Structure 1
Amino acid sequence: MELEKMIIENQIQLEDIPQIDLYMDQVIQLFENKFGSSKRNEEEKVLTKTMINNYAKGKLLFPVKNKKYSKEHLILIAMIYQLKGALSITDIKTTLSGVNERTAEENFGIDRFYQLYLDLTAQNLETFKKDLKNQTDRVKVEAEALEETESADLEKVLMVSSLAHMSNLYRKAAERLVDELAEG
């Protein structure tokens, strides 16, 4: 299985973010350029005007000035983009509310915070690659135990099921932490 080669880990790095404020269309283009290669199909949208407007209306972002998005807005949108794959919009709002408040008050180094996040994601990717290799090897052994002559599809079903289970475990752990943020 060449699953590892299919995993594309894209992040917007701090140096990818312009030092000038951007209009919505420019924000969408930046995200499309960075994350377009990781789309599952051509119809999928990375980011749309509606999404950005919903993030603003839902107060996932601090208010925009003069219809332009600052570097801080782009960092928050990048985090929202990554979080929405696992969490509900309500959970994302809860998770990022403190970061939003601190950033809006201009007494928070969101650049440093985001770089720490990027460092963690790079470490996560390396851990994931090793775990994926181990999981692939275990699934192969289990599939061979079925003694089916055509076990390739069954091996893939086992792998999908196993990865989905791991994803659910991580999502549930994240949701528990969100609940703690909401309580505290």
Structure 2
Amino acid sequence: MNIKKELEGLHLENQLNSKEIPDLDLYMDQVIQLFESKFSSAKRYEEDKVLTKTMINNYAKAKLFFPIKNKKYSKEHLLLISMIYQMKSVLSIKDIGKTFEEVNQRMQHDDFDLEGFYNNYVYLMDRNVAHFKEYIAEQEEIFETELDKDIVNDDYLQQLLLITSLTGMSNFYRRAAEKLVDQLEQKGEEEQ
């Protein structure tokens, strides 16, 4: 099995760069259109939506980002929504809210360079893509040289092992992220 070939088309490098976000405020439909044009290639199924009005309204209700003005979303809102978009499949809305609580407070007091922070986030994401590709190459090498070919002797079993390996790694990363969210919450309680 060629793991790299199986995972082609994931569009992992597809990050919303801060320079791609206009400096003028956007209405919700424009926000949705921007995200759809940027991330539609990463959808699993054609009918999937990248971002919907309901999602954005739920993020606002959960206070995942600071309040909007005049039904328009600033560049800073879009930067936060982009990070939320990436986190929502791993963390609960509650955990995402805890994670961004202090950032939102800083934004309301004009005390934070969110764009600079976001650019560092994109840099880390780009590095993570490179590490993921290295991990996949390493998995391919293990499949070729270390697995018992008498047991793992067809594409189905190899693919099953890869699925279990990837979901296991995903679980490790999710649990680590949840632990860090819990530490943020404990730190916040101690400061009060």
TM-score, length-scaled by structure 2 = 0.91
What residue in structure 1 maps to residue 6 of structure 2? 3
Q: 1:103 to 1:45 in 2, by over 3 A?
A: same
1:144 to 140, 149, 165: 149
After the TM superposition, which of the residue ranges 130-139 and 21-30 deviates more from structure 2? Answer: 130-139
Q: Distance in 2 between matches of 1:120 and 1:86?
A: 17
Q: Does 1:30 align with 2:34?
A: yes
For residue 169 of structure 1, the aligned residue among 159, 172, 190 is 172
What TM-score do the two structures reach when normalised by structure 1? 0.95
Tell me the CA shift for residue 28 of structure 1: 0.1
8 Å Cα contact 1:39-1:46 kept in structure 2? yes
Distance 2:172 2:185 in 1: 20
- Structure 1, unmatched stretches of 5+, are none
Q: Is the 8 A contact 1:91 1:175 kept in 2?
A: yes
Q: In the comparison of the two structures, how many residue pairs are matched?
A: 182
Alignment of 1:54-73 (within 5 A): 54-73=58-77
Bigger relative contact order, structure 1 or 2 (CA pairs below 8 A, ≥6 apart): 2
For residues 156 and 152 of structure 2, the distance between their equivalents in structure 1, rounded to whole angstroms, comes to 13
CA distance in 2, matches of 1:42, 1:182: 38
Aligned-pair distance for 1:61? 1.1
Unaligned runs of 5+ in 2: 188-192
Q: Distance in 2 between matches of 1:7 and 1:104?
A: 36
RMSD: 1.2
Measure, in 1, the Cα distance between the counterparts of 2:165 and 2:116.
35
Distance in 1 of aligned mates of 2:90 and 2:141 = 26
DSSP-derived class of the 1:6 partner: coil
Corresponding residue for 1:75? 79
Q: Which residue of 2 aligns with 1:49?
A: 53
Measured in 2, the distance between the counterparts of 1:12 and 1:143 equals: 42
Name the % identity: 50
The question of whether the paired residues in 1 share the 8 Å contact of 2:152 and 2:158 is answered with: no
Matched residue of 2:139: which SS?
helix
Corresponding letter in the other structure for 1:58 = A
